[in-house]
């Protein structure tokens, strides 16, 4: 198992710390926990690639979810065919569907 901290900062990104994001690689799968703004840049910075199989959102604050529409758009532009499983807190599914639908 490999863990990559993509962002551990607060609600506002700084030049040294990004908003929330953590990537876990295990048995050929990649699990992304939270997807704050700038997560894609961090994924490029740390050469993790975008082949994420599951996204887990801990809660719906912007610094944990605002990178998700862009990530979904990137996956679409790269002709991804595999479904992306997005796991949300109870009662928030519709909100996340609307957020991802922005792309």
Catalytic residue list: 63
Distances (CA, A) of 16 to 36, 40, 65: 15, 16, 20
Calpha distance 39→22 (Å, rounded)? 9
* Strand ranges (E), 1-103: 2-7, 21-26, 29-35, 54-56, 85-87
């Amino acid at each position: 198992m490999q863990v990559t901290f993509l962002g551990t900062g607060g609600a506002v990104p700084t030049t040294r710390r990004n908003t929330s994001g953590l990537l876990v690689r295990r048995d050929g799968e990649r699990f992304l926990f939270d997807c704050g703004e700038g997560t894609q840049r961090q994924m490029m910075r740390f050469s993790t690639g975008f082949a994420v199989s599951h996204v887990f959102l801990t809660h719906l604050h912007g610094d944990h979810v605002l990178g998700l529409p862009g990530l979904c758009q990137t996956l679409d532009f790269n002709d991804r065919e595999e479904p992306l499983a997005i796991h949300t807190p109870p009662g928030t599914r519709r909100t996340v569907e609307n957020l991802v639908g922005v792309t």
